[in-house]
Structure formats: C-alpha cells, structure tokens
DNA sequence: GAGGTGTGGTTGCATCTTGCAACCGAATTG
DNA sequence: CAATTCGGTTGCAAGATGCAACCACACCTC
C-alpha cells in the first residue's frame, strides 16, 4: 500500500515531515550544510544507493529545500540549500543535541565562529528571557493570544 | 533488502534518526506531548494501522523514548514519555517552526504558561547572547575548543 | 453464566519502498 | 580512439507498510 499522506494534516510538524520525513533526506541536508553539493559527494559521504539518492534529491528540490544550479565545470549541476533549506539548521541541531545528550559522547562541539567559544545549548526562552521547558509552554490558537 | 543501519555512525544526528527516523515515531511522540498515553488514543489520533503502531511503540520503548507503565484501570498499560523522550521537545518544535515558516500559516502559537505571552522563536545564542545563524557557527573537535 | 463490548493487540496478504548491482550516455582524459 | 568519471536509469529481491480480519482478555449486562 501507498505510504500515508500527511501533508493535508494541519499540523506544521506533519507538513515538515512530508518534506524531510525520511532518514536519507535529513542526512542529505546535513551533508549539504557540511558543504557538499555534488551528486557524487553525497553518494560517497552517505553510502546511499544512486537510485535512492536521485529520488531524494528530486524530492528535496521539489519541496524547495535544495536548488539545482548549473555547475561551473561542464554540463553538470550542483545541489545547494535554498533559504528554506537553511532553515532546517535548527532541526538538524536539535536532533544533534538530542543524540548527543542520550548516548555516547560526541567528539564535536558547536562553537561561535567569531570567538571560538561554545554556543549555548538550544532552548526556548520567554519574552523576558527565562528559559522554558516543555511544561512551561503550551500551544494555543493564535486568536487567544491576541485577546490577552 | 534491509533498511540501512545508521546507529554505528558517529554522528549524533544519525544516532537520533535511528530512534525517531520515521514519520510515525515522530507523530507518536508529538501525540505523547499532547497528553495521549493509550494505544487506542494514538491509534485514533493518528489513523495509524494497529500493527504499525505496535511496532513503533515497541521501538520507542526500546530506545528509551517511551516507557510502559501499568494503567490504573485494569490490566492494560500506558505509554508515557521518559526524560529522554521529553528531550525531543526541541526537535519537535524545531520541525514545527520550520513547517510554519514555509507553508500555510498555522493557527496555533506557542505561549508561556506563566503569562500567556508568545515565546521567542527557537535560535542559537553565543555565550554573550548574540543570536547566531548557521553561518556563524561551526562544529569543531572538542579537543580544539579546550585549547583556545 | 451466556453473550455482548472495548481494548490491545496478532496474522495474512497485497502493494510500496529500499538496496544492490548492472548498465548507459555524455563529456573529459590519456 | 579507448578508458574513465559523473550522474544517472533499470531490474530485481527482500523488507516495510497498510488494510482487514481475527483473537484473547477483562468487564458489563442480563
């Protein structure tokens, strides 16, 4: 049977998953952030089958995450992150942070390029900068917020 | 063929995807944050096939995202988020934020429970609280940071 | 205690998706 | 011209997914 469709779902989480809801897509975006742009680069870096890679790249292009641009060398093209694709940075880093917290320690640290210092862990903050956990927040209809 | 294994990968992103690298798992966690705990609740909320749900719930339990606890009523049990599972909040909200930014507007807003005010969008901050974009940061080996 | 009913699954089967390997066409290189 | 690289396409075998039917257990009702 066909994979269920989630795009119709109103929830933006489900809509996001429509675009990057499979492992290869996420890893491709990860590599794109790491500077990879060519078909072959993704293939070697990920060890993914060519046909799968073809389909995934096309899907990411279709969803506006990647963009095909003509390559300087010859008739081929490269895949680069669009502005929208670059918006996935937080998702990727949230995944990274979670995978790091639970499980083996990672030998890498995310640092500020300006001063080489580690950046603060990702977290939500209230308008007065208090740090907020899952239980300190709730999703409410936009209309409700305006009233308060 | 067997789905490729990513767990051996050193990258914590890949390790995370091993646990929550499929759409149903993410949506189940989303519903868990929304307060769902029973098999039937997940089934109805997501419209997922029972067999798939069974497998996904077991996987999430195996990865320590959910925990089976005996239910108050009768011999059944409930699935609740573990501390580790609750750590996925940022991932979920990052996905939500992205899905909201690109695509139709969402009718919901994440607010602080204390004062009902919208929370600040998720973002990285340097140690001096400057907001950082993807290009302002880089991943460096942990050893390098100590040297600086 | 016979017969529903709700919950939480399991099983079978048809269909998709994935992974691998082989092949291929165009351009570049030797 | 032959060989190689790049970026795919194609065919196939095996896994994953979706649906529906079935099932065991506890509970409720009569």
Q: What is the 3-state secondary structure (H, E, C) of A32-58?
A: HHCCCCCHHHHHHHHCCCHHHHHHHHH
Asked if the Cβ–Cβ distance from A112 to B136 is below 8 Å, we say yes
Q: Is residue A107 part of a domain?
A: yes
B100 and B75: one domain?
no
Domain that holds residue B130: 89-147
Confirm or reject contact between B115 and chain A (CB < 8 A): yes
Whether CB of A52 is under 7 Å from strand C: the answer is yes
Asked if the Cβ–Cβ distance from A145 to B22 is below 8 Å, we say no
Closest residue on chain B to A87 (Cα) = B98
Q: Is residue B76 part of a domain?
A: yes
Q: What is the pLDDT of residues A54-103, one digit of tens each?
A: 999 999 999 999 999 998 777 789 999 999 999 999 999 999 999 988 76
Confirm or reject contact between B131 and chain A (CB < 8 A): no
B98 and B81: one domain?
no
Q: What is the pLDDT of residues B66-83, one digit of tens each?
A: 999 988 777 789 999 999
The whole-angstrom separation of Cα A86 and Cα A71 is 20
B79 and B94: one domain?
no
Q: Is residue A124 part of a domain?
A: yes
Exposed, middle or buried by CB within 10 Å (0-12, 13-18, 19+), for B45? middle
Q: Is residue B60 part of a domain?
A: yes
Interface list for B 5-34 with A (CB within 8 A): 6, 10-17, 21-23, 26-27, 30, 33
B35 and B70: one domain?
yes
Confirm or reject contact between A4 and chain B (CB < 8 A): yes
Residue B101 banded pLDDT, cuts 50, 70, 90: confident
What is the model's pTM? 0.92
Give SS3 for B93: helix
Boundary residue ending a domain (B69, B86, B103): B86
């Amino acid at each position: 049977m066909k994979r269920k469709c989630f795009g119709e779902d109103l929830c933006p989480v489900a809509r996001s998953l429509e675009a990057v809801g499979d492992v290869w897509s996420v890893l491709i975006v990860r590599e794109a952030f790491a500077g990879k742009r060519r078909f072959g680069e993704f293939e070697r870096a990920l060890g993914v089958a060519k046909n799968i890679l073809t389909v995934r790249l096309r899907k990411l292009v279709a969803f506006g995450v990647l963009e095909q641009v003509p390559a300087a060398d010859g008739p081929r093209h490269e895949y680069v992150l669009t502005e929208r694709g670059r918006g996935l940075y937080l998702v990727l880093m949230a995944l990274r942070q979670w995978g790091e917290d639970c499980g083996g320690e990672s030998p890498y640290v995310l640092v500020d390029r300006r001063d080489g210092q580690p950046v603060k862990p990702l977290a939500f903050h209230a308008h007065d900068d208090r740090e907020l956990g899952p239980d300190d927040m709730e999703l409410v209809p936009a209309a409700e917020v305006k009233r308060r």
